[in-house]
């Protein structure tokens, strides 16, 4: 079991990772520390790591976002990562075994980058589809979220890398996220929002939990009693509660709460103030000891405490090709075939001659959402690249943009820009000191620059970016900067602007993620080149510098862009339209303002569908968008934000090499106004979860409104029949139900299906959702084959929270077996007996 860890110094008396031995080693280390040393350990040493304490053989612990890859300590293209599909996509697989394999991949990425702890998974719920981090959360259902999240945690930790379910709790939207007070009743908290955390703590023994920015029922989460109970006392959490970045706001209240590690550092409200608070008796030293004990226990688990073998062997280093293969398999397994009229999909490659690949996300696939969940991939395969590669020379794949999904400045990149010093594509960056001396300089591939916790940038007085910009086409370009602070931009020696841009939001992360933009217009001829220089004056005392040198290229006049696309569609065998959002629309730091596709994309799809009956739409977004044209087109494939292997996975699915395996983890509405819980806007700082237990499909069923595509829906390439479901007619309270479901593959090819079980309780003494997911299992079958599968319904599925505990109401429940939350084809009665 003990495997040498490259981080830890060799130690003669290395102990196996056995709980008692570890606890003894931790206790000895703790006893050797002064109060100052202990308190120092409880605030980060920098943005991504904790302090080492050589006196006790403790090295620093490195943490990193998460969850679709491991970014590492840098936040740019200099340190690329494997990029997996968005968490919505991962949940759409409903495949826990796959999630465990992904956990192993992420652990291998973590170790490659010297990372001990991944800041994920994000297990808040899809309360509203407008939630900015919807793409980063798994599902609207607590059981699916909990099971998928627990598999992720197990996969990581089985390889000695810590997982951090976040953000505890009720951080389900982003508007006013630092101060928002979520008002949630106890039952709703227990049955919905806490439930996934419970599964990840009690079931998967996660080593960390992240305390959210927001407050719940009046108390900010880094000081909230929910950290002690149920997390610690009831669920037996023995790990570290880490604050979300800058979420620790007090010395005494946070230290008296069950909050262990204030991130980032080195500044923060603990430090000397906490030492003084302990000395004055406001915070018991015992509380500090317990925090340090938990931190040391974490160190022991990840192999950061000398002399202790890590809790699990280090993962085998996954070769890049194997990682790419798994990323591709996962993306295809997550794609949801929402509509397939006349079985237009899969396409028969042999019969194709001309394919039109249209839309803003066709040549530039959007692989991920925005914010701390983003990584810098080694590469990203666009749908255009993927299809061209799969179809080869014989088939002509033609592309037109048709419409745009993005407005405003886009960081300069590729052959738009040439570094004037190195001659490579990109920009040249210089960090200058107060006297104008060059402290550091480097070539960078894109105009988006992020220095978080990068001391060199923080110590610089100015950052200068120079490049030679080339206009591909003639027209009016907008050239500018996205960022907060002082900027001077020149082009061709002319000053375009020289001004200080004030933040329009207080949230530092939001400033970094969606900063204000300033631009000036430049009229350029086709092929014209112009020297551009951007100088940013670094504000004193800043820990994060982030800005982009960006450009908005000219649009074609009038309807020309759309008309070009329609013309291509008309003269092609099949028209594939890739529509979607971008990482600037679905992001941490703010909520979406609309579910509509941005720009003229809806118009584009309708216009294409009008000229080509074989129109296939790929929707490239992390969460739901409205699709007013969905009945006009032959097929709709929801691809999510699919990670680096987007184009290859799309080609696999469209050409039928692989089945689109996904089933919706969240309801997709027809119209925004139908969504039962939509608003994420707090009223006077409070966001009241007035709908209680009724979110997602539960709320849709209760309202009696039909969505575009229900929770659980997904067609695949074959057809499934549920022949029957059998369950014991009665069970003792607190017992699990083992249901047996017979399923037949009634279609033409081998496939995989997710069989879903829901419970309902029409005549109940207590208020209940119209139905709730109670279990699920996957089935693989050949055409014509009938398979019997076992699906477990856990005792908790029959329980509700009342009077401070879990209660089971005896009596008759109905167990529904089906293909989605609205297509429930078989049922069985189960009576829970009196205790």
List residues with catalytic annotation.
244
Contact present, 530 and 408 (Cβ < 8 Å): no
Helix (H, G, I), strand (E, B) or coil at 712: coil
Helix (H, G, I), strand (E, B) or coil at 70: coil
Q: Which backbone phi and psi does 56 adopt, to 5 degrees?
A: -115, 15
Contact present, 575 and 612 (Cβ < 8 Å): yes
- If binding is defined by CB under 6 A, does position 214 make contact with ligand BGC? no
If the CB atoms of residues 87 and 580 are measured against ligand BGC, the closer one turns out to be 87
Q: Which backbone phi and psi does 77 adopt, to 5 degrees?
A: -70, -5
Q: Give min distance, CB of 154 to ligand BGC, in A.
A: 20
Q: Among 181, 223, 244, 602, which residue sits at the site for ligand BGC (rule: CB under 6 A)?
A: 244
- Please list the alpha-helical segments (H only) found in 86-185: 87-92, 96-112, 142-157
If the CB atoms of residues 249 and 443 are measured against ligand BGC, the closer one turns out to be 249
How many whole angstroms separate alpha carbon 402 and alpha carbon 404?
A: 7
- If phi over 0 gives left and psi between -120 and 50 gives alpha, with beta otherwise, what is residue 266? alpha
Q: Which backbone phi and psi does 586 adopt, to 5 degrees?
A: -105, 105
If the CB atoms of residues 372 and 615 are measured against ligand BGC, the closer one turns out to be 372
If the CB atoms of residues 104 and 211 are measured against ligand BGC, the closer one turns out to be 211
Compute the half-sphere exposure of residue 787: CA atoms within 13 Å on the CB side of its CA.
20
Q: Give min distance, CB of 159 to ligand BGC, in A.
A: 20
How many whole angstroms separate alpha carbon 681 and alpha carbon 685?
A: 9
Write the interaction track for ligand BGC spanning residues 36-75; mark x where CB under 6 A is met and - where it is not: -----------------------------x----------
List beta partners, residue 739.
791
Contact present, 759 and 772 (Cβ < 8 Å): yes
Beta strands 475-483 and 544-552 are antiparallel
How many whole angstroms separate alpha carbon 640 and alpha carbon 619?
A: 7
If the CB atoms of residues 264 and 447 are measured against ligand BGC, the closer one turns out to be 264
> What residue has token string 């970094």?
512
Q: Which residues of 62-89 are buried (b: 16+ CB within 10 A; e: fewer)?
A: bbbbbbbbbbbbbbbbeebbbbbbbbbb
Six-digit token string for 526: 């086709």
User: Nearest-5° angle of CA 600, CA 604, CA 606?
Assistant: 125
Six-digit token string for 701: 């069923």
If the CB atoms of residues 370 and 751 are measured against ligand BGC, the closer one turns out to be 370
Give the CB-nearest residue to ligand BGC: 372
Q: Give min distance, CB of 486 to ligand BGC, in A.
A: 24
Q: Give min distance, CB of 119 to ligand BGC, in A.
A: 4
Q: Among 60, 154, 166, 816, which residue sits at the site for ligand BGC (rule: CB under 6 A)?
A: 166
If the CB atoms of residues 65 and 591 are measured against ligand BGC, the closer one turns out to be 65
Q: Which of 94, 93, 112, 200 is nearest to 157 (CA)?
A: 200
Helix (H) or strand (E) holding 255: helix 252-256
Q: Which of 809, 773, 771, 770 is nearest to 791 (CA)?
A: 773
If the CB atoms of residues 148 and 549 are measured against ligand BGC, the closer one turns out to be 148
Look up residue 683 and give its DSSP letter. B
- If binding is defined by CB under 6 A, does position 178 make contact with ligand BGC? no
Q: Among 245, 547, 697, 709, which residue sits at the site for ligand BGC (rule: CB under 6 A)?
A: 245
Q: Give min distance, CB of 226 to ligand BGC, in A.
A: 18
How many whole angstroms separate alpha carbon 251 and alpha carbon 575?
A: 60
If the CB atoms of residues 373 and 755 are measured against ligand BGC, the closer one turns out to be 373
Q: Give min distance, CB of 183 to ligand BGC, in A.
A: 21
Q: Give min distance, CB of 245 to ligand BGC, in A.
A: 4
Six-digit token string for 240: 């570290």
If the CB atoms of residues 166 and 800 are measured against ligand BGC, the closer one turns out to be 166
Q: Which of 591, 557, 596, 592 is nearest to 580 (CA)?
A: 596
In sequence order, which residues have a C-beta less than 8 Å from that of residue 805 and are 6 or more positions away? none
Beta strands 615-620 and 635-638 are parallel
Helix (H, G, I), strand (E, B) or coil at 184: coil
Q: Give min distance, CB of 74 to ligand BGC, in A.
A: 13
Q: Give min distance, CB of 671 to ligand BGC, in A.
A: 31
Show contacts with ligand BGC in window 336-365 (CB under 6 A): none
How many whole angstroms separate alpha carbon 109 and alpha carbon 155?
A: 13
Q: Give min distance, CB of 663 to ligand BGC, in A.
A: 26
Q: Give min distance, CB of 122 to ligand BGC, in A.
A: 7
If the CB atoms of residues 244 and 591 are measured against ligand BGC, the closer one turns out to be 244
Write the interaction track for ligand BGC spanning residues 671-700; mark x where CB under 6 A is met and - where it is not: ------------------------------
Beta strands 462-470 and 529-537 are antiparallel
If the CB atoms of residues 317 and 542 are measured against ligand BGC, the closer one turns out to be 542
Six-digit token string for 494: 């002319």
Q: Which of 205, 212, 121, 209 is nearest to 172 (CA)?
A: 212
How many whole angstroms separate alpha carbon 346 and alpha carbon 391?
A: 14
- If binding is defined by CB under 6 A, does position 509 make contact with ligand BGC? yes
Six-digit token string for 61: 């612990």
Q: Which of 248, 264, 180, 163 is nearest to 214 (CA)?
A: 180
Q: Give min distance, CB of 679 to ligand BGC, in A.
A: 21
Residue 97 vs residues 100, 154, 161: alpha-carbon distances, Å: 5, 10, 18
- If binding is defined by CB under 6 A, does position 372 make contact with ligand BGC? yes
How many whole angstroms separate alpha carbon 49 and alpha carbon 85?
A: 26
- If binding is defined by CB under 6 A, does position 119 make contact with ligand BGC? yes
Q: How many residues belong to the site for ligand BGC (CB under 6 A)? A: 7
If the CB atoms of residues 253 and 509 are measured against ligand BGC, the closer one turns out to be 509
Q: Give min distance, CB of 507 to ligand BGC, in A.
A: 9
Binding site for ligand BGC (CB under 6 A): 65, 119, 166, 244-245, 372, 509
């Amino acid at each position: 079991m003990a495997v040498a860890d490259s981080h830890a110094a060799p130690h003669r008396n290395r102990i196996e990772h056995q709980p008692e031995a570890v606890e003894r080693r931790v206790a000895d280390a703790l006893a050797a520390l002064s109060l100052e040393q202990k308190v120092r350990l409880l605030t980060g040493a920098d943005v991504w790591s904790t302090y080492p304490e050589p006196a006790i053989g403790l090295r620093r612990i490195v943490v990193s976002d998460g969850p679709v890859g491991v970014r590492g300590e840098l936040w740019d293209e200099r340190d690329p990562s494997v990029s997996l599909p968005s968490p919505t996509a991962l949940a759409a697989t409903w495949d826990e075994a796959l999630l465990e394999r992904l956990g192993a991949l992420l652990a291998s990425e973590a170790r490659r980058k010297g990372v001990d702890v991944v800041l994920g998974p994000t297990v808040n719920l899809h309360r509203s589809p407008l939630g900015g981090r919807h793409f980063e959360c798994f599902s609207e259902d607590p059981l699916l979220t909990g099971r998928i999240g627990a598999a992720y945690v197990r996969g990581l930790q089985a390889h000695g890398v810590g997982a951090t379910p976040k953000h505890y709790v009720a951080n389900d939207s982003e508007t006013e996220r630092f101060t928002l007070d979520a008002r949630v009743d106890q039952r709703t908290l227990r049955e919905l929002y806490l439930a996934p955390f419970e599964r990840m703590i009690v079931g998967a023994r996660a080593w960390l939990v992240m305390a959210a920015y927001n407050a719940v029922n009046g108390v900010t989460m880094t000081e909230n009693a929910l950290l002690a109970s149920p997390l610690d006392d009831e669920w037996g959490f023995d790990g570290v509660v880490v604050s979300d970045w800058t979420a620790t706001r007090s010395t005494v209240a946070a230290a008296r709460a069950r909050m262990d590690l204030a991130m980032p550092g080195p500044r923060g409200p603990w430090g000397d103030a906490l030492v003084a608070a302990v000395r004055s008796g406001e915070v018991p030293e015992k509380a500090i000891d317990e925090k340090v004990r938990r931190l040391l226990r974490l160190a022991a688990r990840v192999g950061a405490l000398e002399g202790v073998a890590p809790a699990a062997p280090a993962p085998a280093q996954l070769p890049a090709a194997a990682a790419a293969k798994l990323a591709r398999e996962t993306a295809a397994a997550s794609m949801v075939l929402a509509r397939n009229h006349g079985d237009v999909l899969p396409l028969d490659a042999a019969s194709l001659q001309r394919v039109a690949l249209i839309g803003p996300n066709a040549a530039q696939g959007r692989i991920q959402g925005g914010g701390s969940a983003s990584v810098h991939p080694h590469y990203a395969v666009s749908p255009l690249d993927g299809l061209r590669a799969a179809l080869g020379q014989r088939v002509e794949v033609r592309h037109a943009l048709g419409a745009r999904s993005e407005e405003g400045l886009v960081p300069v990149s590729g052959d738009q820009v040439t570094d004037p010093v190195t001659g490579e594509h990109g920009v040249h960056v210089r960090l200058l000191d107060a006297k104008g001396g060059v402290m550091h300089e480097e070539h960078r591939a894109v105009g988006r620059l992020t220095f978080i916790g990068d001391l060199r940038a923080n110590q610089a007085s100015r950052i200068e970016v120079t490049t030679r910009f080339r206009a591909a086409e003639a027209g009016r370009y907008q050239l500018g900067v996205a960022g907060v602070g002082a900027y001077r931009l020149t082009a061709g020696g002319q000053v375009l602007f020289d001004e200080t841009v004030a933040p329009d939001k207080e949230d530092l992360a939001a400033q970094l993620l969606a900063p204000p933009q300033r631009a000036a217009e430049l009229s350029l001829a086709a092929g014209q080149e112009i020297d551009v220089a951007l100088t940013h004056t670094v504000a004193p005392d800043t820990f994060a510098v982030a800005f982009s040198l960006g450009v908005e290229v000219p649009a074609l006049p009038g309807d020309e862009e759309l008309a070009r696309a329609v013309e291509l569609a008309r003269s092609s065998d099949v028209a594939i339209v890739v529509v979607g959002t971008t990482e600037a629309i679905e992001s941490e730091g703010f909520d979406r303002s609309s579910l509509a596709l941005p720009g003229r994309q809806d118009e584009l799809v309708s216009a294409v569908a009008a000229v080509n009956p074989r129109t296939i739409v790929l929707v490239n977004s992390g969460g739901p968008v409205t699709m007013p044209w969905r009945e006009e087109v032959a097929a709709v494939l929801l691809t999510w934000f699919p990670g680096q292997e987007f184009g290859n996975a799309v080609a696999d699915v469209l050409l039928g090499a692989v089945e689109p395996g996904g089933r919706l983890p969240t309801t997709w509405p027809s119209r925004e106004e139908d969504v039962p819980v939509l608003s994420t806007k707090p009223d006077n700082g409070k966001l009241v979860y007035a709908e209680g237990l009724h979110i997602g499909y539960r709320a849709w069923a209760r309202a009696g409104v039909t969505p575009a595509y229900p929770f659980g829906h997904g067609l695949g390439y074959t057809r499934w029949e549920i022949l029957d479901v059998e369950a014991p007619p009665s069970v003792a309270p607190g017992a699990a139900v083992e249901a047996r479901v017979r399923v037949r593959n009634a279609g033409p090819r081998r496939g995989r299906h997710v069989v879903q079980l829901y419970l309902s309780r029409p005549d109940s003494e207590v208020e209940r959702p119209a139905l709730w997911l109670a279990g699920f299992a996957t089935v693989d079958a050949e055409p014509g084959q009938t398979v019997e599968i076992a699906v477990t319904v856990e005792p908790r599925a029959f329980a509700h929270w009342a009077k401070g505990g879990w209660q089971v109401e005896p009596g008759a429940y109905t167990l529904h077996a089906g293909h989605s939350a609205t297509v429930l084809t078989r049922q069985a009665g189960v009576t829970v007996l009196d205790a």
